[in-house]
Copies of this chain bind each other. A is one copy, B any other.
């Protein structure tokens, strides 16, 4: 029998284990043109929370009682598709199933000799590309500028900070434990890092570590942390709105200070994006990321949880900040 994880109920507030359900089903039968895939690694990401709701968004919501899906690395067990052969590894958006068939559309063949397979769900996948394109296309950081990253110890944040350093910026990270703060500085080369949970006045703390103000803010969290960065933004500053994990579980639109006033006063920009906007430039991004990775300029952190049955808990743990870097489940 094959195992699958379906969306059992739409979460209200924080997702619960009961929002998911494990279902057994027949092993899929292979048809002409298809490949049979065995799941090796599953990516769990904060954005999935949005798809579990039925609010209008940039991607359609998950359907109730249907399989969940996310970024997956899988091995080709059998192939009736000439583009793939047995033993190939692929990555793409696939279901949370131990085994599944696919016509191979939108699947990328990946090479475990260039980088570990799990990397293709992170630094060489959507995570790395999100960091790269958000920072370079919207943030346009210049050498000598100050870059602040929130959610800096997260999958995207840690890559953003390192790219910032590669591009010659002074880089400040914001994270939620002393251990993460230490790691940002010692492992990822951030110039400074701040633990927002133990800092009383974040606005003042940011001002202190950013004596020349903040030119670029890569925002993964939103909320009051962002308010304190906004208060330090420079004239012609750029705010890359990548995520708002602080609000993903809110049941109503969170309230906060209106931004219009400081945007005018500072001629500043705030821009949201999804990585898909830059799909035509993915090869360029992959090229830079894999080069920096091979040169050792880019260090990549993963939290790997083992076991198909632990996918829902790994997802829930994201909202507790239990991951360091990209959260991946190994099957």
Q: Chain A interface (Cβ within 8 Å of chain B)?
A: 50, 56-58, 219, 222-223, 226, 235-236, 241-244, 247, 253-274, 277
Contact = CB atoms under 8 A, between A and B. Distances in A.
A258 B254 contact: yes
Of A242, A244, A247, A274, most buried by chain B (CB within 10 Å of CB) is A244
A50 B261 CA distance: 10
A258 B261 contact: no
A274 B269 contact: no
A183 to B, nearest CB: 26
Tallying the copies of this chain within the complex gives 2
A230 to B, nearest CB: 10
A226 B236 CA distance: 22
B247 A264 contact: no
Contacts of A270: 259-260, 263, 269-271
Nearest to A222: B260
Nearest to A243: B264
A88 to B, nearest CB: 33
A127 to B, nearest CB: 16
Q: Which 9 pairs between the two chains have the least Cβ-Cβ distance? A: A263-B272, A264-B272, A244-B260, A222-B260, A269-B271, A253-B257, A256-B258, A241-B263, A270-B270
